[in-house]
Amino acid sequence: MLEFSFIATLWMSSGQGAWHFVTVPLDFTEPLRAAGGPRAGFGAVPVTAQLGQVVWKTSVFPDASSGCFFLPVKRAVRERNDVEAGDEVAVTLRVVMA
């Protein structure tokens, strides 16, 4: 199983909808791209994410301008962990293999 753990800053997109994300460190970009799991649209990689005690299924999405992947963080996850944009969070990602 391919697993990554890191600490990053939670941020809110400037676009419509107030989406919140964590940027996956650049060091993990190539291993994520090389992961053998199924790919969703836009080069997304399916993962199981963990922030605090909350675990959820989602995908990380590549960002062409930075070269990194972005992890969307749902409101329910933010609320259960009492975090908001600007907070540093500890994240674990496990790539979902086919």
- pLDDT of res. 24: 96
Residue 36: pLDDT band with limits 50, 70, 90: low
- Look up residue 36 and give its two tokens: 């053998």
Judged against a pLDDT cut of 60, whether residue 92 lies above it is answered with: yes
CATH code, domain with 80: 2.40.30.100
Sign for the pseudo-dihedral over CA of 57, 36, 72, 15: negative
Q: How far is CA 38 from CA 34, 47, 89, in A?
A: 11, 10, 27
- pLDDT of res. 40: 59
If you average pLDDT over residues 26-46, what whole number do you get? 78
**Domain residue limits at 83:** 3-95
Domain count, the chain: 1
